[in-house]
Structure 1
Amino acid sequence: MAVKDRDRFSTATRIRIIGEQTAARVYRSQTRRQARRSRLTGRAALLAMVLCSLVVALAYPIRQYVAQRAEIADLREEQARTRQRVEDLRDLKARWQDDAYAEQQIRLRLHYVMPGETGFTVVDPHVAAPSRTDVGAADRPWYRNVWDGVDKADAAAHRQ
């Protein structure tokens, strides 16, 4: 038994026993960490899967919501422009109710002159004067176009 006791207390034996105990503790510690890690990994995977499912489930409704909000903003802008256009047209209608404005526009647009007045047409000297055959319907006064239409209709009636 003395040999056993000597072996038991020898430095090499003690170091071997300490190494085995340390290895056992490290092994148990690693096993616990791996068990915790595997549980944490499973939980993390489940959490990630739930989050991904939520993102996928909510992506389309959120996209629709954002698109509808943008469409509503566009429609509100269009409504504001339309209201402004209506106000402008109401102002124009009110102006046309005034006889002085109507007379001014008739004189300006239709080249009317009052009895006793003399009408003039100013020709720009920088523009080459077109020949009589080059004058189109848009370049002549409206009343000349109407009269030409009457003449052509009369000529067609006489041919038949």
Structure 2
Amino acid sequence: MPGTSQGARPAGEPSGRPSRGHLTSRAAILALVVCAIALTLAYPVREYIAQRQEIAELRHRERVAQQQVERLEAHKRRLADESYIKREARRRLHYCMPGEKCYVVLDGDGAGERPESAGPPRRPPWYETLWRSVEAADGR
């Protein structure tokens, strides 16, 4: 054909090379290698993350334990103080030092003792309650 040159091809005519849209064997091998590397690294990365979380949890526990140790040391120092012991004995045990007059208020209204009727109502024993429920079920 005189009007066409050898280098020019009409549109739509396939060339002698494979088209770029298909998966080549090199790309398949590359994808396979990338997947193998990802699978190989997945477990160590997961373990690394788990270990970092465990380390963070252990550091938190250490801080909590250290705070508890500090509180206990402060309490130990207080217990070594004689004035603190005397103050606590007076407060908790109502202890009176020799030569002191101590008063203990039993209730706030000054009556001293509660009347029996002021308490909660008396409940019958469990077996009475059981027997009454059996009688009620029999229709007596």
Category of TM-score, reference length = shorter chain: 0.5 to 0.7
Does residue 123 in structure 1 map to residue 110 in structure 2?
A: no
Q: 1:21 to 1:95 in 2, by over 3 A?
A: closer
Q: Is the 8 A contact 1:96 1:102 kept in 2?
A: yes
Q: Which residue of 1 aligns with 2:16?
A: 31
Q: Which residue of 2 aligns with 1:108?
A: 91
Displaced runs of 4 or more, over 4 A: 19-24, 129-135
Q: TM-score, normalised by structure 1?
A: 0.57
Q: Which residue of 2 aligns with 1:57?
A: 40
Q: Is the 8 A contact 1:113 1:119 kept in 2?
A: no
Q: Distance in 2 between matches of 1:131 and 1:109?
A: 27
Q: Which runs of 5+ in 2 are unaligned?
A: 121-140
| Greater CA drift, 96-105 or 107-116 | 107-116
Q: Distance in 2 between matches of 1:77 and 1:85?
A: 13
Q: Distance in 2 between matches of 1:42 and 1:57?
A: 22
Q: Which residue of 2 aligns with 1:10?
A: none
For these two proteins, the number of residue pairs brought into alignment is 115
Q: Distance in 2 between matches of 1:20 and 1:50?
A: 42
Q: Which residue of 2 aligns with 1:157?
A: none
Q: 1:106 to 1:30 in 2, by over 3 A?
A: farther
Q: Which has the higher contact order (CA 8 A, sep 6+)?
A: 1
User: Residue 97 of structure 1 is aligned with which of 55, 80, 84?
Assistant: 80
Q: Which residue of 1 aligns with 2:64?
A: 81
Q: Which has the larger radius of gyration?
A: 1
Deviations 1:4-54 (A, max 9, x none): xxxxxxxxx645xx3897448x85x7222x17x489722121111111111
Indicate the RMSD between aligned Cα atoms, in angstroms.
3.5
